[in-house]
Amino acid sequence: MAKTMFEKVWETHEVVPESADTPAVLFIDLHLTHEVTSPQSFTLLREKGLPVRRRDLTFATMDHSTPTTTDQVFGGVPIKLASARGQVEQFARNCADFDVELLGLQDQKRGIVHIIGPEMGLTQPGKTIVCGDSHTSTHGAFGALAFGIGSTEVGHVFATQCLLQRKAKTMAVNVEGALAPGVSAKDVVLAIINHIGVSGGTGHVLEYRGSTIRAMSMEERMTVCNMSIEAGARAGMIEPDETTFAYLQGRERAPQGAAWDAALAAWRALATDAGARFDREVHIDATQIRPMVTYGTHPGMSIAIGDTVPVHAGDSVYAASLAYMGLQPGQAITDVLVNVVFVGSCTNGRLSDLEEVASVLRGRKVAHGVHMLIVPGSQQVKREAEARGLHEVFAAAGAEWRESGCSMCLGMNGDTVAKGQYCVSTSNRNFEGRQGVGSRTLLASPLTAAASAVTGRVTDPRSLLA
Amino acid sequence: MDPIRILRSRTVVMATTNIDTDQIIPARFLTTTTKEGLGAQLFADWRYDATGAPKPDFILNTPAAQGCQVLVAGRNVGCGSSREHAPWALVDFGFRAVISTEIADIFRNNSLKNGLLPVIVDAATHEWLLANPGAEVTIDLESRELGLPDGRKVVFPVEAFARFCLLNGTDEMGYLLGQGEAIAAYEALHGKQPTAATA
């Protein structure tokens, strides 16, 4: 019978199939872990006297509460935020006690968990990958089944390398057509979320398909899969192809030599079979997508930058959302004056994102009064960006360039947006208070973020592209 | 974890749609390394003013909300971050059930593991509950029924194994640890045993 890619990956990881009474026992090939969602899981292991069953399949980094200023990371200055310091130190102790491989604060390979997995070649097609982090969906860009779990489940995977899971439904997201210049993967995924809604993917694994997706680089595909959870889907997958294999070949933890050839054969068989049935299908015309920006307090509240804030008379929840954002129905989003621009996160913190930002900033200045923070997704991204001289472009424009981490995406480390301020952000969530108490987030692509930094207001980047 | 069989409680209504886990507990409180005491930070940005004083008009600060175990929330509650701190905070505050028409996947899973029952109901029942805050409801996990004050019973779905665990106050870890032989057999069959260097 014709099978979807999800079904193929699922079936090869069933330790025990599901029944009416019990969920499947699903084997996990790669367990990524970080300092925020693991402390209680390590405590559980200690209470029960259990080891980490598969240390070789467990990989740790610190990213959420880590500082991004060089003095705190490399300069010997203690982490200023005491609670964050305690969490980082406890995580290092936990990893040492349980003999889990950790990229510590000063490690040259450290970075955001969803950036370094692919970068090191740990993320591979056909794997099951979990992390106590909802943006684990990112790794689905390689044809892995990757999803976020809670801390109790982190404990389950530590102890047994398995999870109890019910099989999800499948949804094909067919995206067809060439993107217009200045339109990027971030705009595509914001358009998808707008189309299916912030709970439209609940209970489903998405498979992004179609010519638009096939034409994307791995970094672009990761941006798309990253935000699957913002449509309610725990996982989003993309069929692995030559682009995928070319990205992975030669990476540190990717298979080498004969193992590479064997892996490649297996990976080529993962694609959804012709005639396989999805539980649901949606179609997106990519040729119609323009640069997008969010105006509200969830990622589904987005418009093309040339459009006005929608009017929904009589909807009190909608009115409250706009009131939080300080916006009026019917107003042009380009009227919004920007206070902060944040470039980074697991959504858009990779080298190609930084190159796009530099392409706009080169020879230009960040507008007076705008604070622009650029945070690479990993130390490796930082080095590559600096090798290309991007940091000099950023400095010349007046933007701040930091060490890697989640930073202002969620402000856990103290990198926050002040109350009432507008931040055009390349991150993934515009929830109330996400970037700091009272912060107002407008999600956009790296190009849009850079263009808005230059003009000081929400700006369609096509107006600045030569 | 205490077993859940029957809950009887008045409801607290928060009709806002898409209540995300960043609202349930903001990220700045996630530097904690324990599960305890998070009820104080539940809905912190909605519940307290800039000085940290409780806002008197926020529902959880009103006398009517005290002692309530059932939260009726707008559609798609628990979306966003996977933080299990969200159900930990709700349970620490005193909630044992969340009712909505849609409950986000990861939050629902996390809730079931912490004695917080996610109850998904049809739109009509939901509308009635939203319109009648403080209604005395009964949630019977054994029969999977939500009982309304007028005697109506509404059946809700709950995953069989999670229900078994909640009814018995047991957790899934014991079951998974009991699968040790099957896991080892799977690892051998698929060539996924630990390598000598890492075993």
As a whole number of angstroms, the distance between CA B152 and CA B137 comes to 10
Indicate the residue among A287, A318, A346 that finishes a domain: A287
Indicate whether A326 and A180 sit together in one domain: no
Indicate whether A308 and A241 sit together in one domain: no
Residue B198 pLDDT: 47
Indicate whether A15 and A131 sit together in one domain: yes
Half-sphere exposure of B54 (CA within 13 A, CB side): 11
Indicate whether A280 and A192 sit together in one domain: yes
Which of B104, B173, B182 is facing A232, going by the closest CB pair?
B104
Q: Which residue has the higher pLDDT, A20 or B3?
A: A20
Q: Which chain B residues are within 8 Å of A229, Cβ to Cβ?
A: 80, 106
Of the residues B82, B107, B109, B158, the best mutation for testing chain A's interface (the one with the most A CB atoms within 10 Å of its CB) is B82
Indicate whether A122 and A233 sit together in one domain: no
Residue B4 pLDDT: 86
> Inter-chain contact A22–B161, Cβ cutoff 8 Å?
yes
Count structural domains, chain B. 1
Count structural domains, chain A. 3
Residue located via tokens 């909802």: A134
Alpha helices in chain B (DSSP H): 21-24, 44-47, 85-93, 105-112, 123-131, 160-168, 172-177, 180-189
Does position A102 have pLDDT exceeding 90, yes or no? yes
Indicate whether A263 and A297 sit together in one domain: no
CATH number of the domain to which A228 belongs: 3.40.1060.10
B181 inside domain? no
Kindly identify which residue of chain A lies nearest to residue B77, measuring between CA atoms. A199
**pLDDT mean over A262-289:** 98
> Which run of H or of E encompasses A45?
helix A39-48
B26 inside domain? yes
* Gap from B17 CA to chain A (nearest CA, Å): 7
CATH number of the domain to which A94 belongs: 3.30.499.10
For residue B67, give its domain range: 6-171
**pLDDT mean over A51-60:** 98
A217 inside domain? yes
List, for residues A422-443, the tens digit of each pLDDT value.
999 999 999 999 999 999 999 9
Indicate whether A266 and A370 sit together in one domain: no
Indicate whether A49 and A76 sit together in one domain: yes
B53 inside domain? yes
In chain A, positions 149-188, which contact chain B (CB-CB < 8 Å)?
149-153, 155-156, 159-162, 164, 166
pLDDT, chain A, mean: 98
Cα four-point dihedral sign A381, A384, A387, A390: negative
Which of B30, B110, B186 is facing A150, going by the closest CB pair?
B110
As a whole number of angstroms, the distance between CA B188 and CA B199 comes to 14
How are beta strands A292-294 and A280-285 bridged, if at all? unpaired
Does position A465 have pLDDT exceeding 90, yes or no? no
List, for residues A361-391, the tens digit of each pLDDT value.
999 999 999 999 999 999 999 999 999 999 9
User: How many percent of chain A have pLDDT more than 90?
Assistant: 99
AA identity, residue A433 = G
Indicate whether A157 and A262 sit together in one domain: no
pLDDT bracket for residue A117 (50, 70, 90): very high
Residue A341 pLDDT: 99
Indicate the residue among A245, A270, A287 that finishes a domain: A287
Any idea what the Cα angle at residue A108 is, between residues A103 and A112, rounded to 5°?
Answer: 60
**C-alpha gyration radius of chain B:** 19
Residue B169 pLDDT: 87
As a whole number of angstroms, the distance between CA B30 and CA B23 comes to 13
Indicate whether A161 and A117 sit together in one domain: yes
B136 inside domain? yes
B80 inside domain? yes
A324 inside domain? yes
Task: Kindly provide the ipTM of the predicted complex, given to two decimals.
Answer: 0.97
For residue A16, give its domain range: 5-165
* Gap from A208 CA to chain B (nearest CA, Å): 20
As a whole number of angstroms, the distance between CA A27 and CA A14 comes to 6
A466 inside domain? no
As a whole number of angstroms, the distance between CA B72 and CA B156 comes to 14
How are beta strands A422-425 and A340-343 bridged, if at all? parallel
> Inter-chain contact A65–B32, Cβ cutoff 8 Å?
no
| B153: β partners | B147
Kindly identify which residue of chain B lies nearest to residue A43, measuring between CA atoms. B34
Alpha helices in A142-276 (DSSP H): 151-160, 185-196, 211-214, 218-226, 242-248, 257-268
Q: What are phi and psi of A248, to 5 degrees?
A: -80, -30
Residue B196 pLDDT: 55
Query: Is A448 in the B-facing interface, judged by CB distances under 8 Å?
Result: no
Does position A466 have pLDDT exceeding 80, yes or no? no
Per-residue pLDDT of chain B (199 residues; tens, 9 = 90+): 778 899 999 999 999 999 999 999 999 999 999 999 999 999 999 999 999 999 999 999 999 999 999 999 999 999 999 999 999 999 999 999 999 999 999 999 999 999 999 999 999 999 999 999 999 999 999 999 999 999 999 999 999 999 999 999 888 999 999 999 999 999 999 999 987 544 4
In this structure, what DSSP letter does residue A332 have?
B
AA identity, residue A115 = I
Residues 6 or more apart in contact with residue A189 via CB below 8 angstroms: A223, A224, A226, A227, A230
Look at residue A128 and give its three-state secondary structure: strand
Residues 6 or more apart in contact with residue A346 via CB below 8 angstroms: A112, A113, A114, A115, A135, A138, A226, A377, A406, A409, A428
Residue A141 contacts residue A129 (beta carbons within 8 Å) = no
Indicate the residue among A135, A165, A195 that finishes a domain: A165
